[in-house]
Structure 1
């Protein structure tokens, strides 16, 4: 989800490009128009659109979750040969939205690759539907728009520019130092996006970090030097239990462990987490978890 966000969920370290490797910028404009919301071209020529569920008011352990923390639907498209595209995304849905959205996705030729929760005790409960597809990018975007019309997902909203982001009541320098990467403020949340050091492929194509293979760690200040943190670690099999141990040693709750894709190589497992507590303690556990993984330094 949270790459809401996945990312939403944004890729803080991604650089904007004027064109993708196959599709020109005006083609991506047509994709944005078909979807009902525009996005940005990221590293690897991936066109990514964040669709935060700003319509939802979700609380967890007394914390009202900002959309950028854990409620960020997103979709990403990567150019392929012959002006086709690979699509991947993560849709944040309420329980009553799941089956109507799923039915339209399937009838329009998109695939559902996962459906699950990311958080415990959230009120109202939200579910996360991962989707994929290949083909004409405008047709893919139109199909996704038709499916999202079965939900209350806001579309057509202007993105908030980084320059207009308000200051955040967190020691962001300490977060960057502890995690070894530079994050960014998005909608009152401090977001870190960390790429794995090994490449991920599906059907012979590279799956870029912006398409959901980056580790997402988000922080929302909760006052008094505390923060709520959530996101997901992207793991290969042998990393799963060492990361579990590192998180639990500092009281970070593991809320889900599952797949997001169907045919990726290497096989990946996505571990979601939640905690609300002292920032220093949280950073100790999160840093220890990253130390058990192959990530870019």
Structure 2
């Protein structure tokens, strides 16, 4: 083989090798494709595909709500639209979304999400001075696309089902100043000391995390607490759970399973490690039953 031919063959070989390396290093633009028509069918909502991000987002405007904020009449386009976005993620699909809810819808919709494999990641307000009061429940999940879309469809259906429902009638009110319950059985159930605070009874369970190289704990606000008031038969419990991210779904499921209402899920700090989330709750019923629900939620944390 003459020198010219050898050089030509060598150049072709190098070019082929470089091409193979470049191909191997080039990232896939789309990890997978979405059956957008099927997602629309299962969610019962219309969507739009963002081809640049390979994300299909379905939306449900809350046009059934007549909301005013600080006296300003709002529309669905001003931030009152429920949505869920789907995207391929390796060998599975990821979903994230935000549900627009009135107060009486929050817990039925949350239970529907949790019972169908959708995670609830935050619950808070987006506005002040809104009438009627509107809260926003953020969701997430990963798995098989059809299962996720089916679950989201059930969430949307529950929102529609409860959109015209009246707020459930509350039991006859009582004055917490006249609390008469016996704290001893509650202390036995929970397994932690209960202190009298004013006329009510409170239990506080500390946790720790790190901020700026320092340990912060119970007295700095990293704690789970519950206040019990009323009588043994007709009581309320309200408080705050401090949870790791990995513990949130388990605590939510136990509390909702016991009929405890979740009122807020959010962070109290930034930059801490491990990250601590806080969920606020409210329950009504027999004092011992409320204590058992609180304890059961605590127990899920020790198992996580």
Normalised to the residue count of structure 2, the TM-score between the two structures is 0.42
Higher relative contact order (CA 8 A, sep 6+): 1
Which is richer in helix?
2
Normalised to the residue count of structure 1, the TM-score between the two structures is 0.43
Larger Rg: 2
